[in-house]
Amino acid sequence: MNDIFNPSPEHQQLREMLRAFAEREVEPQALEHDRTETFNLPLFRKLGELGMLGVTLGEEVGGAGLDATAAVIAHEELAAADPAFTLSYLAHAMLFANNLYVNGTEAQRMRYLPSACSGERIGGMCMSEPGAGTDVMGLRTEARREGDHYVLNGAKMWITNGAISKSELGDVFLVYARVKGAERSQVSMFLVEKGYKGFSLGQKLEDKCGMRASSTAELVFEDCVVPVENLVGQEGHATICMMRNLELERLTLAAMSLGIARRSIEIMNRYARERVSFGKTLDHFGQIQRHIAESYAEYMAGRAYVYNTASHMNLKEPGHRLDSDGVKLYCATMAKNVADRAMQVLGGYGYMGEYHVERLWRDAKLLEIGGGTLEAHHKNMTRDLASVEKIL
């Protein structure tokens, strides 16, 4: 019988390798980097040694050449140990590297992606702005053509990997902007490197509720000079690139939710088996049984939905918005609820950082906001379903 979660021996081997890596390397550092709000760059580069920073990229640029299911496996396994570290991985491997691999020219791919796959360069994607989050087409960052270069002006907010340290920019970004005079729907995409004139770090955003080990920053463009050859695709035609990449982003964010939920279930299940109260272990009490059973059922429902969606996703073509929105809509809230139940089962211990679920609970909340809010998913899904007579 086909295993939807591990459809090939290669997928099974990938899961086993990443689970071992997460337990050995990622888990031990998670709490400390959460407390210090620091990005673990040496650990991140170990993912490059494993071939994971280019998991969906072709071998010609140093990638692993794998599919959407492999990307889901990677994000589920890593997030079970450290969702914040995994979020930085997602921004680099999915939002930057996969985006450029699908939409860039051969010259652009060969210039940037081998170093992205090794971890030598840390990448990100700049879409959200101080006044344009869910209304992404309301972005105000503007580009104007001047001879052999463009000049960018504007600011981007909430950019993952925007700062590698407190004062140091990430290495390279895909930046969405509107060329001067273009219509609202006509968005362009540019490669902008650290060191370009007029490109600077506005502020590193600290004291976040969760995802504290993943750097988030404001990036500023003040007459930023970008070579013409750094335009990705054609002027005004990046909207389709944006939408296609959002589908993969939402799928892998949903996969992160699975990792959070699975780890929370494992922790509360073990605690309920071991902790004795009123002469019995906690798993003898109906209230606790409900928390564990409902959490497992919801996790497995979400897991089936995520892997089914991944199995049908073509990384080079859009057309999966309904279910990429759907899996994130369901799984983000599912993970938060499961982590909340785990905290309840552990009681006072669940509220303490050393028992992990407190951190998982804080990290889970971001998944209801980032990569598309729950309300945005409601809007998108309702619009898509309006043209459907029969769901199946």
Active-site hit among 129, 247, 249, 368: 249
Whether 249 is catalytic is yes
24 CB-near residues (< 8 Å, 6+ apart): none
Torsion of CA 317, 156, 51, 195, to 10 degrees: 120
In SS3 terms, the chain reads as CCCCCCCCHHHHHHHHHHHHHHHHHHHHHHHHHHHHCCCCHHHHHHHHHCCCCCCCCCHHHCCCCCCHHHHHHHHHHHHCCCHHHHHHHHHHHHHHHHHHHHHCCHHHHHHHHHHHHHCCCCEEEECCECCECCCHHHCCCEEEEECCEEEEEEEEEEEECCECCCCCECCEEEEEEEECCCCCCCCEEEEEECCCCCEEEEEECCCCCCCCCCCEEEEEEEEEEEEHHHEECCCCCCHHHHHHHHHHHHHHHHHHHHHHHHHHHHHHHHHHHHCEECCEEHHHCHHHHHHHHHHHHHHHHHHHHHHHHHHHCCCCCCCCHHHHHHHHHHHHHHHHHHHHHHHHHHHHHHHCHHHCHHHHHHHHHHCCCCCCCHHHHHHHHHHHHCCCCCCC
Q: Which of 105, 128, 107 is nearest to 176 (CA)?
A: 128
CA 201 to CA 155: how far, in whole Å?
Answer: 10
- Looking at the annotation, which residues are catalytic? 249
